[in-house]
Each structure stands twice: as structure tokens, then as C-alpha cells.
Amino acid sequence: GPPGSWHHHLVQRSLVLFSVGVVLALVLNLLQVQRNVTLFPEEVIATIFSSAWWVPPCCGTAAAVVGLLYPCIDSRLGEPHKFKREWASVMRCVAVFVGINHASAKLDFANNVQLSLTLAALSLGLWWTFDRSRSGLGLGITIAFLATLITQLLVYNGVYQYTSPDFLYIRSWLPCIFFSGGVTVGNIGRQLAMGVPEKPHSD
């Protein structure tokens, strides 16, 4: 293809992934706020769905980074991801991810440990059903760890808070949500990367 086609595709994929992240952030935050899981100080409630203005752009940026990272890691490891590579499967993965989030806000368990274990099983089930790659599992765990750490720092600094925190400053099931979110966005990124022109080499 023409020299600029690879960069053109990269920008297109980034914009799509950013948009996906923003939409998911708004939908998922609506589910959580309905159940009073997250509380934002009134002065930062500036947008629709009772979400702080910075949440959707942050989630959009994270989605773009994660979605571009997955196919990149696949090619670096020399393990092209071939499992269930069609848009219908990707859409089902998104639906399951939203379902897991809905469960975190709606299901009532005797304690948070039971809820966390259930969501961990559901998240691993999502990975096994729609991904099954070692790179997907490794990246999902890494994303869950880093995102949980960042969230802890934000809550510690009073940016927002969780009702009934049970894992330092947050809810113990949050890493499961980050893990399944990473796998979901990664699958979208991989699907978008199919048919992309080869990156031009200097030689």
C-alpha cells in the first residue's frame, strides 16, 4: 500500500478504540452509580450519567492503548491470534463483559469475597471463551494490576470514593472487571487490526 496507509490505519483504529472506551465508560458507570457503588464529589459531577468529566476520556485513552497493544504483542511473540476471529464473537465478548459489570452492581452476596470469587470465575470464563491466548491472559493480568494500583492512588488522593471499600480503598472485585475489560478491548483491537497493511520497514 501507499507509505502513509499504515499510519492512517493506526489512527483509525485508535479513534475507534477511544470511542469504544468512552461509550463503555458511560454505560458501565451508569450501572455502578445506579447501585451507589461509586460516589463522585458534587463539584466534579459535570457530565451526563453522573460521571466525572475525566472518566470517559481516561477510559477511551486506556482502551486505545490496550486495543493497539494486544495485536502488537501477538506479532512480537510470533503468535497470531486465530481463536474465534469474527465480529460476532467480539460483540458477544462485549455483551458478556457488560453482563459481568452488571453482576458486580446488581448481585447480592453474603460477603464481598463470594462476589469477588464469582466475578473472578466469570472473568476467566470470558478469557477462555473468547481469547485463550497466553498473551491475552498475561496482558489481562498486567492491566488488572496496573489499573487497580492507579485506582487505589486516585481514591487515596480523594478524587472519588467507593461505598463500602473492602480492599484497601476500593472494592475487591475491581481487578476482575479490569481483567475482563482488558481482554474485551484486546479482542476488539485484534479484530480491527485484521487486514491492516504491513508496517513499512526502513530498508
Report whether pLDDT(46) > 70: no
Percent of the chain residues past pLDDT 90, beyond the cut: 41
Determine the pLDDT at residue 159. 78
193 vs 126, more confident:
126
- Dihedral over Cα of 131, 184, 119, 116: its sign: positive
Give the model confidence (pLDDT) of 21-38 as tens digits: 999 988 887 776 666 666
Return the ∠ at Cα 7 (arms to 92 and 93), rounded to 5°.
Answer: 5
- Residue 7: which pLDDT band, with cuts at 50, 70 and 90? confident
Lowest mean pLDDT of 3-12, 90-99, 115-124, 142-151, name the range.
3-12
Distance CA 132, CA 134 (A): 7
Determine the pLDDT at residue 26. 83
Report whether pLDDT(149) > 90: yes
Q: What does the mean pLDDT of the chain come to?
A: 82
List Cβ neighbours of 56 (8 Å cut-off, separation of 6 or more): 21, 22, 25, 26, 47
- Say whether pTM exceeds 0.85: no
CB atoms within 10 A of CB 163: 11
Q: Name beta bridge partners: 52.
A: 45
CB atoms within 10 A of CB 40: 18
Report whether pLDDT(64) > 80: yes
Percent of the chain residues past pLDDT 70, beyond the cut: 83
Lowest mean pLDDT of 58-62, 112-116, 134-138, 164-168, name the range.
164-168
Determine the pLDDT at residue 166. 78
Phi, psi (deg, nearest 5) at residue 81: -85, 115
Helix (H, G, I), strand (E, B) or coil at 167: strand
Phi, psi (deg, nearest 5) at residue 51: -105, 140
| Beta carbons of 117 and 152 less than 8 angstroms apart | no
